[in-house]
Amino acid sequence: GEWLGLLGGGQLGRMFCHAAQALGYRVMVLDPAAEGPAADVADKHIKADYDDKAGLIKLAEHTRAVTTEFENVPADSLAYLASQLRVTPGARAVEVVQDRIAEKTFVAGLGVPVAPHRAVRVAADLDTAPANLFPGILKVARLGYDGKGQARVKTKEEAVAAFKSFEEVPCVLEAMLDLKEELSVIMARGLNGECAVFPVARNVHHEGILAVTVVDNFVSEFAKPATDAAIAIADGLDYVGVLCVEFFVLQDGQLLVNEIAPRPHNSGHYTMNACATSQFEQQARVMAGMPLGSTELFAPVVMLNVLGDVWYPGSGDLQVEPDWAAVLKLPRTSLHLYGKAEARRARKMGHINCTGATLADAVDTANHIVHLLKLPVQASVM
């Protein structure tokens, strides 16, 4: 079969491999770690840094198209690969969204609102920060994920201390917003600019990490404007591939873009069991130049994230394998584990999708599991 290439070695890459393999492709993974969720299931693993020229050349020689599973790939590596073969998404789009300052500037430039913020490149930028940004969140502009590289700050003094603790790398200070709900839009944009948008997801985070996603054909009155904004962003970036746009809905009814992920997203894992096409199959289809798949939702669905905490039922370090049999006994429940060697607290280990004849049914099943595994957040219909 033909080969597709992947930069990155995490769980998103693993699920991409599975989807591409189901379509008959072989996958070559370039990742510096000796093993990991994606490398373990790849048809071939090139163990090399993301900017390793020899590794990139090998990937380019043997594959038909290359994709990425995380946003921090050096844009130069994508640009080099793009001089040799199809790369989705392209270097320019990734470059914009991997930097929170460039990302917010770009989105705002399209006329789509973002959170009130200020770029912080030197400590003096905090002296002149307007009062409406406090209390706020200082976020490193690059390389943050799962709430890492973020500090909640009540005052300028706290912001300066946090900036120093981040070793004064470029940051953004955002106002702490009063959120009514969080939504995300997962979509694909094909080589010809055609868009396929999955149903809008409603997300609940816990300690900066996604905990629960709820999806039905209508989860929010903001689904339509969020979808329109996501398409405008994908078009504006001339994006090719799968992307996710995260949104905040404020108590006063404003819809803001939080951030963009240039890849499949944790809040799109529901597509694996509830849609005609999964977000990972869609990623492979785009790369292969195949038609985009249907994004139709077959059933209301709740996705529960399974973090390493679930392996530690007590307060100490005693590790206990969760009772998967009890989970799998429940109807319309699918368990996805990423094969990570070690369960650490706050580490994403897997997820569970529960579909239902109605959303209320899916929520009931999910909350049964929340109780069984002592997960931190309950699912809800509203």
- The residue (of 259 and 281) whose beta carbon lies closer to ligand ATP is 259
CA nearest neighbour of 39 among 117, 109, 48: 48
Residues 247-286: x/- map of binding to ligand ATP (CB under 6 A)? -----------xx---------------------------
Rounded to whole angstroms, what are the CA distances from 293 to 22, 218, 240, 263?
Answer: 14, 20, 15, 16
Q: Tell me: does residue 69 bind ligand ATP (CB under 6 A).
A: no
- The residue (of 147 and 376) whose beta carbon lies closer to ligand ATP is 147
DSSP H helical ranges for the chain: 11-22, 53-62, 75-82, 91-97, 100-109, 124-127, 156-165, 223-236, 271-274, 279-288, 324-328, 359-373
Q: What is the DSSP letter of 133?
A: G
Q: Site residues for ligand ATP, window 94-153 (CB under 6 A)? A: 115, 137, 139, 144-148
Cα separation, 260 vs 279, in Å, equals 15
User: Which does residue 179 touch among Mg ion, ligand ATP, none (CB within 5 to 8 A, set by kind)?
Assistant: ligand ATP
Q: Site residues for Mg ion, window 168-187 (CB under 5 A)? A: none
- The residue (of 70 and 198) whose beta carbon lies closer to Mg ion is 70
User: Which does residue 146 touch among ligand ATP, Mg ion, none (CB within 5 to 8 A, set by kind)?
Assistant: ligand ATP
With b for 16 or more beta-carbon neighbours within 10 A and e for fewer, the 142-158 pattern comes to bebebeebbbebeebeb
Could you tell me which stretch among 16-24, 170-178, 269-277, 370-378 binds ligand ATP (CB under 6 A)?
Answer: 170-178
Could you tell me which stretch among 169-177, 270-278, 286-294, 326-334 binds ligand ATP (CB under 6 A)?
Answer: 169-177
- The residue (of 43 and 125) whose beta carbon lies closer to ligand ATP is 125
**Side chain identity, residue 251:** Q
Q: Tell me: does residue 182 bind ligand ATP (CB under 6 A).
A: yes
CA nearest neighbour of 17 among 44, 55, 48: 44
Residues 198-237: x/- map of binding to ligand ATP (CB under 6 A)? -------x--x-----------------------------
| Ligand-binding site membership of 258 (annotated) | yes
Cα separation of the two ends of the chain: 46
**Of the residues 161, 176, 330, 337, which one makes contact with ligand ATP according to CB under 6 A:** 176
Q: How far is the CB of 208 from ligand ATP (least distance, A)?
A: 5
In terms of DSSP bridges, do strands 348-355 and 241-250 run parallel, antiparallel, or are they unpaired? unpaired
Q: What is the DSSP letter of 328?
A: H
With b for 16 or more beta-carbon neighbours within 10 A and e for fewer, the 228-241 pattern comes to ebbbebbebbebbb
Residues 252-281: x/- map of binding to Mg ion (CB under 5 A)? -------x----------------------
Structure tokens belonging to residue 156: 């300028």
Are 354 and 369 spatial neighbours (Cβ–Cβ below 8 Å)? Answer: yes
- Residue ranges that bind ligand ATP, judged by CB under 6 A: 115, 137, 139, 144-148, 174, 176-177, 179, 182, 205, 208, 246, 258-259
Residues making up the annotated binding site for ATP are: 100, 139, 144-150, 174-177, 182, 205, 258-259
- In the complex, the residues that contact Mg ion under the rule CB under 5 A are 246, 259
